[in-house]
Chains A and B, each alone.
Chain A
Amino acid sequence: MTIPPSWSRRRFLGLVPAVSLLAACSTAAPTGGGRTLRIGVAAGPSNLNPLDSGSEVTRWIAEPVMETLYDYDERVRSVPLLAAAEPAVSADGLTWTIPLKRGVTFHNGDAFTAEHVVASLDHVAAFASGSEWVVYFLGYYSGARAVDPNTVEIRLKRPYGLLRSHLTNLPITHRAFVDRKDTMMGTGPYRLARVSAGLGYSMTAHRGYHGPSPAYARLEFQIIPDGSTRAVNLRAGSVDIATELPVAALPLLAGQQAVTVHRVDAPIDILTYVKAGDPPFDDPNFRRAVAYAVDRQGVNDKVFGGAAVLGQGPIGPAERGYDPDLRVFPARPDTARARELLHGVTAPSFTLTISAGQVMEDIAQILVQSWAHAGITVKLEVLQGGPWAQRWISGAYQMIMNRFSSGFTSGDANYLTLSPAQSTSVLACGYENPSVDTALERVWAIDDQGERDRLLREVNATLTEDAVMFPPVYPKMIVAQRASVSPMDPARMKISRLGTPRLRPEGNAGE
């Protein structure tokens, strides 16, 4: 590159601040409305297949496109959607027969039949698929077959009561699309029309939808990585719904008559656990010292603006088995107690591996500082999503932390989050407690929800007291919407969904 002779280096350098100032002053012009629902999301997933990924954005995009055999009603009870009725379970509990709804078509015009359900189930149960669901199906799922085009039969290796929950959360895709990661094919009210890498996803109404006609002609998921920018876009009317709003962005929406901010207790976990089988966390006192030194109040105040619930064990207030009376660790760090528990440990230290992102980085930095006050040196390791997941699955970590929405796979529970505590799980963290193993086995096997909740409470208390899983807080789901859209359904948000298939334009907006 040669700078033209008429432009001296000095002249160019002198212009740098002026150019920077001009760039800072520029703003994006708002786009127009129409019968299009526009949703601002933080990221664009690399894998669009919701059978593989339970990431929030993948599932939010999949929500209007793909459907499940059963769905949640307004009271979060499971009711048939693509299934025609409740499953018929054999006396030994090992065979489930499900009648399917007739007259349903995929977006490509193919009829929805039992073959597609079988393909979807086989995909998530195969270890090679890399699906998050494999943790649920491994060891239980034996196979599935199409009895006839409208009946599917699932065979199990052992009784598996939790399967009913999975059938309510597992999206069903076209059998030709089970391995596709770049697109979605479903039976939902909207079909995925276009994927613009790094920009967003467009959907159009599926005119042959088997349920009520879609209210919008188009749906657009726009990728807006910065939370404040999502809030500003919502305020300006460039999007109708803004997801994952950080607390710091909420003042931007204060006093806006056309905007409603929803703060909902949802099954969102700050997945926080230690490699209990390896040093230094194989020492229960070391684990407890670390848990006592956590500044829960600091995380709540500074990262969540005081809106979260202080954390104790792995189960949060929106999840089955939560015990509001469980109080093991203090809100503020108890450094004296931590130092007492660390007596005899020379130079206590460990590495905390987190997934990159403003919220996780802020939480981690507060924790590192609070542990430093207790004399624990913590090295922070920030990894992108993919490398973080590799560490998680391979078990190459000392303490690991990430944000995880359990609702997409478990509804109002967080079964997957608990599985590392089970010594036989593929995600096992090295913690060995026969009573926890037995309790979790029963949680997965039985279909008595009351008994399951009781067992979950026990497991939660044990894992808290043993300091195996100790999230600093239980965050809320924060989503904001414009008044031009019908109110979002709190029941859907309680299971981390946006409820986009049922949203419709309000008033004369959107016309």
Chain B
Amino acid sequence: MSAVVSAPRGARLLPRDGLTWFGAVCAALFCLLAVLGPSLAGDPNATGSDVLAAPSLTHPFGTDQLGRDLLARTAAGTRVSLTVSLAAVALGLLVALPLGIFAGYHGGRLFDDLIMRVLEIVQALPMFVLAMFVIGLSGTATAHLGPIPITMTTKVVLLLGVAFVPYFARVARAATMAETGQEYVAALRVVGVPRLRILFGELLPNVAPAMVVQAFLAMALAVFAEGGLGFLGLGVQLPQATLGNLTGGGTGYLPAGVWWYSVLPGAVMLAGILGFNLIGDALSDSLGGRGTTHVETR
């Protein structure tokens, strides 16, 4: 028995407005640079004699203070950014979806209260504060959880993933509560469909559109957060290039007129953030407001 609610009338796959197309192009370029760039642009750590060279045909993004090609480094940084963001969002969804759906299904009962209060505690800590606190305690070096090494990249993924859980869970809970009130859920209960089947076979597909919207918006936030941590020196460590450490590393050269070092990697980061945000926004519109973009007030 399928209870998937079809998209509302008027919803379309291809957007008509230019802003959404602009976002799609930005996100596509960001993803292309991440996927193909490192293979095409060469070794991001190879040094050359041409230091702080302006953009040219040889070095379209210029070079840094060690003579490294900034296009290659930006491509490598974009790959890190995309990988970390995807992993963080996936982790957040993986944890938040079951919690949100369970909480929504048991709405108003002890189980729901318990989950939501715990998540509110996590949510009370701003993402950057949480990240700086944890990285400040554990340092930027690889930590070890027993025999398992936790690299800085893993730490960033874990931190962002944990920070996303409350937001995803709240949306999943709200969407599940709305679905639980539908007649088909009561009917499923009456005919004796197992609870897990109702939760993950019937409710999950109907909650999914709202989560897809949230996932795109979270991708934008993750690209920004990963970049921000890198900018502050708290992200993935050198010599690995990230969009954040490139933007941060280049700021010292801005007064000397070396604009390309900060601005071009920063522009790539901005393209990713805008792209994923606008796609999420468009999806929200086309799904009839299922994935509301307003952050809930508490």
- What residues make up the interface of A, taking CB atoms closer than 8 Å to B? 1-3, 9-10, 13-14, 16-17, 20, 226-229, 231-232, 246, 248-249, 251-252, 298, 301-303, 356, 358, 361-362, 364-366, 368-369, 372, 380-383, 387
Interface centre among B19, B45, B47, B255 (most CB of A within 10 A): B255
Tell me if B295 and A226 are in contact (CB < 8 A).
no
| Shortest Cβ distance from A226 into B: residue | B252
Q: Number of B residues whose C-beta is below 8 Å from A?
A: 33
Tell me if A10 and B252 are in contact (CB < 8 A).
no
Q: Is B277 an interface residue (CB 8 A)?
A: yes
A249 to B255 CA separation, bound complex (whole angstroms): 8
| CB < 8 Å neighbour of A381 from B49, B141, B251, B295 | B141
Q: Which residues of B contact A252 (CB under 8 A)?
A: 255-256
Q: Is B139 an interface residue (CB 8 A)?
A: yes
Tell me if B238 and A365 are in contact (CB < 8 A).
yes
Minimum CB–CB distance from A229 to chain B (whole Å) comes to 6
Q: Write the B286-298 contact mask toward A (1 if CB under 8 angstroms, else 0).
A: 0000000111010
A229 to B251 CA separation, bound complex (whole angstroms): 10
A361 to B246 CA separation, bound complex (whole angstroms): 13
Tell me if A1 and B255 are in contact (CB < 8 A).
no
Tell me if A248 and B65 are in contact (CB < 8 A).
yes
| CB < 8 Å neighbour of A302 from B46, B66, B294, B295 | B66
| CB < 8 Å neighbour of B239 from A231, A358, A380 | A380
Minimum CB–CB distance from A254 to chain B (whole Å) comes to 10
Within 8 A of A (CB), among B254-298: 254-256, 270, 274, 277-278, 281, 293-295, 297
Minimum CB–CB distance from A225 to chain B (whole Å) comes to 9
| Shortest Cβ distance from B254 into A: residue | A228
Tell me if A2 and B255 are in contact (CB < 8 A).
no
Tell me if A9 and B281 are in contact (CB < 8 A).
yes
Q: Is B209 an interface residue (CB 8 A)?
A: no
| Shortest Cβ distance from A227 into B: residue | B252
A362 to B237 CA separation, bound complex (whole angstroms): 13
Q: A9-B281, A369-B47, A383-B141 are in contact. Are A302 and B238 (CB under 8 A)?
A: no
Minimum CB–CB distance from B260 to chain A (whole Å) comes to 14
Among all A-B residue pairs, the 6 with the closest Cβ atoms: A228-B255, A365-B239, A232-B255, A226-B252, A381-B141, A228-B252
The DSSP consensus for interface residues of chain B is: loop
Q: Which residues of A contact B178 (CB under 8 A)?
A: none
A67 to B8 CA separation, bound complex (whole angstroms): 80
Tell me if A302 and B270 are in contact (CB < 8 A).
no
A248 to B293 CA separation, bound complex (whole angstroms): 45
Q: Which residues of B contact A226 (CB under 8 A)?
A: 251-252
Tell me if B274 and A246 are in contact (CB < 8 A).
no
Tell me if B47 and A298 are in contact (CB < 8 A).
yes
| CB < 8 Å neighbour of A13 from B233, B249, B274 | B274
Tell me if A2 and B295 are in contact (CB < 8 A).
yes
Q: A365-B45, A365-B66 are in contact. Are A382 and B140 (CB under 8 A)?
A: yes
A105 to B219 CA separation, bound complex (whole angstroms): 63
A381 to B256 CA separation, bound complex (whole angstroms): 29
Minimum CB–CB distance from A97 to chain B (whole Å) comes to 48
Q: A248-B65, A383-B140 are in contact. Are A228 and B256 (CB under 8 A)?
A: yes
| CB < 8 Å neighbour of B19 from A3, A10, A301 | A10
Interface centre among B49, B65, B251, B277 (most CB of A within 10 A): B65
A229 to B274 CA separation, bound complex (whole angstroms): 30
Q: Is B253 an interface residue (CB 8 A)?
A: yes
Tell me if B47 and A366 are in contact (CB < 8 A).
yes
Within 8 A of A (CB), among B149-186: none
Interface centre among B66, B278, B294 (most CB of A within 10 A): B66
23 contacts between A and B (CB under 8 A): A16-B270, A20-B270, A228-B252, A229-B255, A246-B252, A248-B253, A249-B256, A252-B255, A252-B256, A302-B47, A302-B51, A358-B249, A361-B238, A362-B66, A364-B238, A365-B66, A366-B47, A369-B47, A381-B141, A381-B237, A382-B238, A383-B141, A387-B139
Minimum CB–CB distance from B298 to chain A (whole Å) comes to 10
A494 to B51 CA separation, bound complex (whole angstroms): 30
Q: A16-B274, A248-B256, A251-B256 are in contact. Are A356 and B66 (CB under 8 A)?
A: no
Q: Which residues of A contact B98 (CB under 8 A)?
A: none
